[in-house]
């Protein structure tokens, strides 16, 4: 549980999870463009999410494509969904 909480404690990692929420698969280059992050920073964030079991990486030629882990324990998935849902209204208020 600690690794999951650490992984979702960062706004960039939460934003990456939100982009992968609907089953979309993204490579680091797509995530860095959409989240305005450097390649090395985004790769470190995705490694932390992968180490926590929240995302799965799939090698595709020279890229690694990430997707949300569909086999995540339901209680962890519920926590992540609740955190992302609670954050959405805050983002809309700031826009």
Contact 63, 22 (CB under 8 A): no
Q: What are phi and psi of 68, to 5 degrees?
A: -65, 140
Q: Which domains does the chain have, with CATH numbers?
A: 2-94 (1.10.10.10)
CA distance 61 to 73: 30
CA distance 90 to 95: 9
Q: Provide the residue-wise pLDDT of the chain in tens; the chain has 95 residues.
A: 788 889 999 999 999 999 998 888 999 999 999 999 999 999 999 999 999 999 999 998 888 999 999 999 999 899 899 999 988 765 554 44
Q: What are phi and psi of 60, to 5 degrees?
A: -135, 95
């Amino acid at each position: 549980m600690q690794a999951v909480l650490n992984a979702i404690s960062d706004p960039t990692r939460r934003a990456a999870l939100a982009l992968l929420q609907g089953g979309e698969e993204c490579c680091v280059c797509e995530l860095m463009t959409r989240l305005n992050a450097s390649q090395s920073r985004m790769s470190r964030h995705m490694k932390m999410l992968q180490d926590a079991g929240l995302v799965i990486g799939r090698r595709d030629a020279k890229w690694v494509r990430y997707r949300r882990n569909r086999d995540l324990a339901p209680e962890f998935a519920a926590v992540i969904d609740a955190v992302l849902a609670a954050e959405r209204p805050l983002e809309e208020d700031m826009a």
